[in-house]
Amino acid sequence: MSFDNLGLDARLLQAVASMGYAEPTPIQSGAIPLVLAGRDVVGCAQTGTGKTAAFVLPTLQRITARKGAITCLIVTPTRELALQIEDVAKTASRSTRHRVAAVYGGVGYEPQRRALQHGVDMLVATPGRLLDLAGSRHVDLSRVEVLVLDEADRMLDQGFWPDVKRILALLPPIRQTLLFSATMTPEVLRIVGDTLDNPARIDVAPPSTPIEAIQQRIFPVSGTQKSDLLIHMIEEHRLDRVLVFTRTKHRADRVAHSLERAGVRSAAIHGNRSQSQRVRALSDFKRGACRVLVATDIVARGIDVDGITHVINYDLPNVPEDYVHRIGRTARAGKSGSAYTLLAPEEHDNLRDIEKMIGSVITAGEDAVGFRYDESRVVPDPERNPNAPKHQPAPAGKRRVGRTGGQGRASGSGRASGSGGGYQGKRS
Ligand code: AMP
């Protein structure tokens, strides 16, 4: 499959080339022809599948540049996602000359008002700030031709739906609507029924199996020694682009502080941090000014940073799918990466759920060589490997259980052809 036969014109093909994409992902090859044909589309796809370009590229082709009004509106639940979509849209619009802007909460109004006054063709927005700006007449949505609702399930979860409904009331009733959601809950389907017109549906299964390029390891340790072990790993192996996950915001702050105290430049990113703090933490991490970013799941979903060599689960997530999301932040763009889990005795059940989902047993790692364990506090999991020496790799021979890679499917009309699971492809 190539981008050449999806119906994109020369300007957009040039944009694709400048973004370094060699071939379309399943959600892109499914959605792009449908969007270009003017269909309403429901895409069941999560972050990591290439969904942003799947709606940005064809939409830029559908809307005329510099018409003097906002003709495409993209509504997304978080500032981070808004910034990422803006980034993709700005890159793509260099060859189409569309004007792109993003508005989101947590920062001052004035720069956003000024951007709007300069004229915007494609506006990326979080719901609350968009309503504020519409209320003060800085945004006119009466000429929107294409509406994109991104991460609809999350907007519902986070209680944004009343705001989205108010936004819908400001839009022309005749328009093209695209809706993307990682899950298709009955609530999402009800919204699809109420808001979209005879939509085509494309499903891309989430990556239930982490890609082979990620080396996964567990390190049994007591809860009280996690911090020391983390510092040991980072210092001993000179890791310098590490994403650490904790279960709570409070723990994220604590871990970042103890790393800083040990002389490891780090930053925490979570829901309690202000927008400017988050932006600064991300940009410090991206340019290498800090070696470790400590994050919670909610905020990390959607963070797109290249070159993360290690993901370390300081705590395991309660939801097994989050484990796959987390570790998928490494081994991107054809590189390899490592995913380490610091496993406290009380997390053994979570680990078993994860192993069941990914269909393999995660072996114990060796990277903690030289770390002085407090043996009295490490409790081996008797069900796992009663005879194995602690902190040594478990015997080879992985047992495979449960399902393996997901399969996509496409329905609706047109040339929809969703296939394959989540995208983990290479950039050329
Ligand atoms: P998204 O699901 O839109 O957040 O995209 C996830 C990641 O995939 C981003 O880093 C994109 O730059 C990358 N990506 C999207 N489409 C392609 C493609 N066709 N080829 C290679 N990488 C892509």
| Spatial separation of the C-alpha atoms in residues 367 and 218, rounded to whole Å | 10
Question: Does ligand 1 come within 6 angstroms of the Cβ of 398?
Answer: no
Burial of 5 (0-12, 13-18, 19+ CB in 10 A): exposed
CA 53 to chain centre: 13
220 pLDDT more than 70: yes
- Least reliable range by pLDDT among 18-27, 96-105, 248-257, 308-317: 18-27
Identify which of 1, 18, 19, 76 to mutate to test ligand 1's pocket (most ligand atoms within 8 A of the CB): 19
| Spatial separation of the C-alpha atoms in residues 388 and 390, rounded to whole Å | 6
Q: How confident is the model over 231-274, as pLDDT tens digits? A: 999 988 888 899 999 999 899 999 999 999 999 999 998 877 77
User: So what's the pLDDT on residue 424?
Assistant: 36
User: So what's the pLDDT on residue 340?
Assistant: 94
Give residue 342 CA to ligand 1 midpoint distance, Å.
Answer: 29
Question: Which residue in 418, 312, 316, 394 sits closest to 358, CA to CA?
Answer: 316
The two tokens of residue 190 are: 């009800």
| Spatial separation of the C-alpha atoms in residues 404 and 211, rounded to whole Å | 11
Question: Does ligand 1 come within 6 angstroms of the Cβ of 333?
Answer: no
Determine the average pLDDT of the residues in 302-315.
Answer: 84
Question: Does ligand 1 come within 6 angstroms of the Cβ of 425?
Answer: yes
Nearest-CA residue for atom 15 of ligand 1? 50
Question: Does ligand 1 come within 6 angstroms of the Cβ of 228?
Answer: no
Q: How confident is the model over 372-381, as pLDDT tens digits? A: 666 555 555 6
**Per-residue pLDDT band at 138 (split at 50, 70, 90):** very high
| Spatial separation of the C-alpha atoms in residues 83 and 71, rounded to whole Å | 19
3 pLDDT more than 90: yes
- Percent of the chain at pLDDT exceeding 90: 56
More confident residue, 138 or 356: 138
Identify which of 2, 87, 304 to mutate to test ligand 1's pocket (most ligand atoms within 8 A of the CB): 304
User: So what's the pLDDT on residue 414?
Assistant: 33
21 pLDDT more than 90: no
Question: Which residue in 233, 211, 239, 247 sits closest to 346, CA to CA?
Answer: 247
Give residue 50 CA to ligand 1 midpoint distance, Å.
Answer: 4
**Per-residue pLDDT band at 419 (split at 50, 70, 90):** very low
Q: Which atom of ligand 1 is nearest to the CA of 423?
A: 8
Nearest-CA residue for atom 6 of ligand 1? 48
Nearest-CA residue for atom 13 of ligand 1? 50
Q: What are the structural domains of the chain?
A: 3-203 (3.40.50.300), 214-420 (3.40.50.300)
Contact 388, 378 (CB under 8 A): no
| Spatial separation of the C-alpha atoms in residues 230 and 311, rounded to whole Å | 11
